[in-house]
Structure 1
Amino acid sequence: MNKNILYIAIAVIVGLLAGWLIFGNSGSEANANKDVSEMSDTHDHSGESENQIWTCSMHPQIMQPEPGDCPICGMDLIPAESGADGLAMNEIKMTENAMALANIQTTIVGNGSMSEDDGMISLSGKIATNEENNAVQASYFDGRIERLNVNYEGQKVNRGQLLATIYAPNLVAAQQELLTTASLKKSQPELYKAVRNKLKNWKLSESQIDAIESSGNVRDNFPVYATVSGTVSEVMAREGDYVKQGQPILKVSNLNSVWAEFDAYENQISNLKVGQKIKVVTNAYANKEFDATVSFIDPILNNATRTVTVRATLKNTDDLFKPGMFVTGKLKGEMKMNNEVITVPASAVMWTGERSLVYIKTNPNEPVFEMREVTIGNRNGENYTVTEGLQNGDEIVTNGTFTVDAAAQLQGKKSMMNQEKKEDAMMPMSEMEMEFSENFQKQFKKALKPYLQMKDALVASDADQVSFFAKEALLLLKAVDFKGIGNMEQSHLKKSIEMLEAIVANDNLENQRSHFVILNENIVPITMNVKGTDEILFIQKCPMANNNKGAIWISNQKEIRNPYFGEDMLTCGEVVDSIN
């Protein structure tokens, strides 16, 4: 009995010891693992906090490593997308699904191989009338158009064809002189000859003059005949119109030859010269090439399009070319094939008018892209040569480029429409030099006080007060002495007065603010050239005003109080200059 109890006791002790060894160690390990896990979690969150980028919902180009206010509009910064972790500042990442839906394709670029089309420059243009063959059919005497025989554009006319019949009082008087001097031609031959010459100067033929003289009858209406053959390009008078001597009636173009006018970009000018052979292709005759020669290169560059006009003359005896028809010209240019020149498909290049852009795939294993600016050379068919910005082996987007750019823009990254640029809008204004007399400056400074009060009224969104102070400023500006100031100065002052008048006459706050934009564009340069202002003035700017084009104003306080948005965006803006 005692032995059994002893065995049971020993078994219990052994069991407890075994249980402690098994479960005790497991719990310790769990606790240890828990501690390690907590430490790991704490470390990870710390790392995320350190790498977190903060941005502005209204200005996604703002990227800061810590929270705060947007330096442009003053709004609270928000955390940037966590999905951008591991990407460079201007890199974007797309999903495989988005890539497939947008049919985005990439190509590895390298040096282009020589082919038949290498060195060929492609130009786009239109057919225009040959102005050397244009003629104006004018009236040779004063009168009224009784009948106009040619009265619509596109009508064919032949030399000697009757164009119009005109009642000419002066010709009636000249005919009476002819009949009178005809009886005196033996005694006064010089007078008779002078009268005949007068009628000849009015384009009457010898036979017409002889017919008047032999019949003894005076004609009231006289014909006007075509002096050239061609096609009517413009009708400049109508039946019943009174015309003066030399006044145009018709414009006639001879379309036996026409001009093909092409636009050539700056980087193509060095490859062009007068006398160069050019092949012209048009959609109307797609399988046919027409040979021509460059006859003119415009010496003046068009500032709006950054192109020059290149002209070639085409024979058009078969009437194949119609003015206004689109054409393409191909000519041989000098093309240096070297390691610095890379050929890319035209679909890969986005052209903004000032720069050319492509998208590079920066990660060969993932759909990560970044915009890059490149310098393009000639266009050869469906390809561009790139002289700067790419290297052999770069992988670029060749299809779906605009889709990638749209994704970059939505993520606030560098894109075609969201280019990071230095703020230089105020530079021309600050460098604008104006000269004013002391008397003018003294009078002008009086108008600044109601201007500043008007600005404060716009901040308060009080349209009535805006009109009231605008009227005060207007009266003071109208009283200033204009004498002795230059044309540029007068132009700015007159435009300022015009805008103040518009603000006074308008009680709609938004319209007042629109006029305030233009007022400041004119009154700020004047103020910056006035010496000795009564207090320090600050030139401030809101980049979101004027439909996101930006607008400036003058303030006597450094603190931003936005007159274009009032309470809606009171602190949106920055100080861009000051006047001491």
Structure 2
Amino acid sequence: MKQLHKICFLIIGFIFVLGCNSKNEDKHETREFKESIYYTCSMDPQIKEDKPGKCPICHMDLTPAKKDNGAYNSISLSDQQIKLGNISTAFIGTSQQSQQGDYTGVLTVNPEGVKSISARAGGRIEKLYFKTEGDFIQKGQAIYQLYSEPIAIAKQDYVSAYSQLAMPGDFGKNAKTMVAAAKQKLLFYGLSNAQIEAVKKSKEVSPYTTFYSSYSGTISEITATEGSYVMEGAPIIKVANLNTLWLETQVNVNYAKSLRLGQTATISFVDFPSKSVQATISFINPEINPDTRLLLIQLEVANPGLLLKPGMQANVQVTQSNQKGIFVPIDAVVRDEKVTFIWVEKSHGVFENLKVTTGLESNGMIEITSTIDTNKKIVITGVYAVNSEYEFRKGKDPMAGMKM
């Protein structure tokens, strides 16, 4: 009888222990289930709560959603989500692309063709024959008239020396040296041979001298005024040769790496939509603009007939053929304020973000200059569907946990 009681007692104890374990397992499963879900609002997905309730923004009922417990920089998607998001992947390898860069620029005066007409001696500007910038000056046209005592004295010395040439003996011989010296001084002051010949024939030496242009061009600047006094060497008028203009534009520093001096570009103009010309790169600035990260380049543009004017806007098209590199569709790259990245397929339905650096961009493709594993597929369509789901689950911080 006692043996029977012991057996019954052991059976009851076993049932009690088994019941307790079952309850503990149920509690553990319930806790794991609760820890694996959170409550959010379908209208305001940024709201995430640990328990049911109302959305603090729109006051709708919060709905349960499953937490993604995978790696922070990865996300798992179901086949249905992949289909609805039109998400597709592909292997990307090294290829050759013809890259075309399109930029805008402005025509400017070529500084190499600018000439400055300066005062050859100190004096007063008695008359300016051109007073408007943009006027065209022909070679040999009168530019200004100068009242100058130094020039007047040099003229008088020349006339006096010339009058002594007919004197006999040493006076005549010395006069030849004096005439040559006086003429040289007048040439230094900018008088032409014809003007010097006119001086010795004149009965009275004039303190006024007219100066003529030595070249043709368009007036780009007038710095003197009638009645003003000028010092020797002071600029009076600047004349620009507009047969060749410069086109200044700024290009992305990544694109500029492959540009070279003498490279040809196609130029079209806003004011002449049907006109396009070929130009060559004549200057590449060695310094990058620290604010824009752009590089200034200048192209030399021929301007026969002077149809083009400084200040005109132009479009620059530079084509680089057969550029070798890793190119992906532009839509495959996500650009954030802090980082640029792509999505890589780790396994079926599992994607991770990968930080990249980019280079040339043209014709819907962009170059990846950083090292990537070409044995892995990257997301080429539906990228923003993947990214939106990632932000919905894990927040919008592309730097946190990102794979470098």
TM-score normalised by the shorter chain: which range applies? 0.5 to 0.7
Please say if residues 145 and 166 of structure 1, whose CA atoms lie closer than 8 Å, have aligned partners that are also in contact.
yes
1:288: Cα distance to partner? Answer: 4.2
**Inter-partner Cα distance in structure 2 for 1:322 and 1:107:** 51
Aligned to 1:533: none
Task: Find the counterpart in structure 1 of residue 314 from structure 2.
Answer: 326
1:160 aligns with 2:140: yes
C-alpha deviations, 1:375-400, integer Å up to 9, x for none? 33323245423344776441467899
Q: Does 1:302 align with 2:281?
A: no
Q: 1:357 is matched with which residue?
A: 340
Per-residue CA shift, 1:1-53, capped at 9, x if unaligned? xxxxxxxxxxxxxxxxxxxxxxxxxxxxxxxx9999977665666x379x9xx
CA shift for structure 1 position 167: 1.9
Deviation at 1:131, TM superposition (A): 2.5
Check whether the contact 2:267–2:314 (CA below 8 A) recurs between aligned residues: no
**Which residue pairs with 1:257 in the alignment?**
244
Secondary structure of the structure 1 residue equivalent to 2:182: helix
Q: Give the equivalent residue in structure 2 for 1:379.
A: 361
Q: Equivalents in 1 of 2:212, 2:156: separation in Å?
A: 23
Q: Distance in 2 between matches of 1:375 and 1:259?
A: 33
| Partner Cα distance (1:351, 1:320) in 2 | 45
Higher relative helix content: 1
Query: What is the RMSD of the two structures over their aligned residues, measured on CA atoms?
Result: 4.8
1:208 aligned counterpart, secondary structure? helix
Residue 180 of structure 1: how far off its partner (Å): 2.5
Q: Which amino acid aligns with 2:103?
A: S
Q: Tell me what 2:327 maps to.
A: 342
CA-CA distance at 1:169 after TM superposition: 2.0
Report if aligned partners of 2:343, 2:353 keep a CA contact under 8 Å in 1: yes
3-state SS, counterpart of residue 255 of structure 1: coil
Aligned position for 2:209:
222
Question: How far apart are the structure 1 equivalents of 2:192 and 2:322?
Answer: 58
Instruction: Decide whether the 8 Å contact of 1:144 with 1:242 is kept in 2.
Output: yes
Give 1:280's aligned residue: 267
Helix, strand or coil: the match of 1:332? strand
The answer for the alignment partner of 1:213 in structure 2 is 200
In 1, the alpha carbon distance for the partners of 2:217 and 2:108 equals 15
Structure 1 pair 372–208 and aligned structure 2 pair: CA distance change class (3 A): same
Post-superposition Cα deviations, 1:503-527, rounded to whole Å, max 9, x if no partner, equal: xxxxxxxxxxxxxxxxxxxxxxxxx
SS at match of 1:394: strand
Distance 1:392 1:361, change over 3 A: closer
CA drift of 1:174 comes to 1.9
Tell me which of 172, 176, 179 is aligned to 2:156: 176
Change in Cα spacing, 1:43 to 1:310, as seen in structure 2 (3 Å) is: closer
Indicate how the Cα distance of structure 1 residues 387 and 113 shifts in structure 2: closer, same or farther if over 3 A, else same. Answer: closer
From 97, 116, 120, the counterpart of 1:140: 120
Once residues 283 and 132 of structure 1 are traced to their aligned partners in structure 2, the CA distance between those partners, rounded to angstroms, is 25
Q: What is the rounded CA distance, in whole Å, between the counterparts of 1:320 and 1:399 in structure 2?
A: 49
In the alignment, the residues of structure 2 paired with residue 179 and residue 383 of structure 1 have an alpha-carbon distance, to the nearest angstrom, of: 79
Select the structure that is richer in strand: 2
Given the superposition, is the C-alpha separation of residues 349 and 286 from structure 1 closer, same or farther in structure 2, using an over 3 Å criterion? farther
Contact 2:265 2:316 in 1 (8 A): no
State how far apart, in whole Å, the 2-side matches of 1:260 and 1:179 are: 52
Contact kept, 8 Å, 1:263 with 1:308, in 2: the verdict is yes
Q: CA deviation at 1:230?
A: 1.6
Measure the CA separation in 2 of the matches of 1:159 and 1:343: 58
SS in 1 for 2:360: strand
* Structure 1 residue matching 2:121: 3-state secondary structure: coil
Question: Secondary structure of the residue that 1:335 maps to in structure 2?
Answer: strand
Matched AA of 1:119: S
Q: Which position in structure 1 is the counterpart of 2:228? A: 241
Q: Which has the higher contact order (CA 8 A, sep 6+)?
A: 2
Name the structure 1 match of 2:180: 193
The 1:150–1:108 alpha-carbon spacing in structure 2 relative to 1, beyond 3 Å, is farther
Are 2:291 and 1:312 aligned? no
Q: CA 1:113–1:361 in structure 2 vs 1: closer, same or farther (change >3 Å)?
A: closer
Structure 1 residues 286, 184: CA separation in 2 closer, same or farther (over 3 Å shift)?
Answer: same
Deviations 1:179-209 (A, max 9, x none): 3323213321211221122112111122322
Q: 8 Å contact 1:90–1:413 — kept in the other structure? A: no
TM-score, structure 1 as length reference? 0.46
Rounded Cα–Cα distance in structure 1 between residues aligned with 2:238 and 2:112: 13
Give the drift of 1:138.
1.2
Q: What is the aligned partner in structure 2 of residue 124 from structure 1? A: 103
- Matches of 2:365 and 2:288, distance apart in 1: 25
Cα deviation digits, residues 258-289 of structure 1 (max 9, x gap): 22344455544563344433322333344443
**8 Å contact from structure 1 (residues 123, 262) kept in 2:** no
Letter in 1 for 2:68: G
Q: Distance in 2 between matches of 1:220 and 1:200?
A: 16
Q: Which amino acid aligns with 1:177?
A: D
Give the direction of change, closer, same or farther, for the CA distance of 1:197–1:128 in structure 2 (3 Å limit). same
For structure 2, list consecutive stretches of 5 or more residues without a partner in the other structure: 1-21, 39-63, 76-84, 167-171
What is the SS of the residue equivalent to 2:306?
Answer: coil
- 8 Å contact 2:344–2:378 — kept in the other structure? no
Identical counterparts, % of pairs: 24
**Would the aligned equivalents of 2:89 and 2:345 in 1 still touch at CA under 8 Å?**
no
How far residue 164 of structure 1 moved from its aligned partner, in angstroms, is: 2.0
Question: What is the CA–CA distance in structure 1 between the aligned matches of 2:271 and 2:334, rounded to whole Å?
Answer: 28
Contact 1:262 1:309 in 2 (8 A): yes
Per the normalisation by structure 2, the TM-score is: 0.63
Aligned residues: 332
CA–CA distance in 1 between the matches of 2:273 and 2:29? 70
Give the whole-Å Cα distance in 2 for the aligned partners of 1:123 and 1:84: 47
- Residue 232 of structure 1 and its aligned partner are, at CA, apart by 2.0
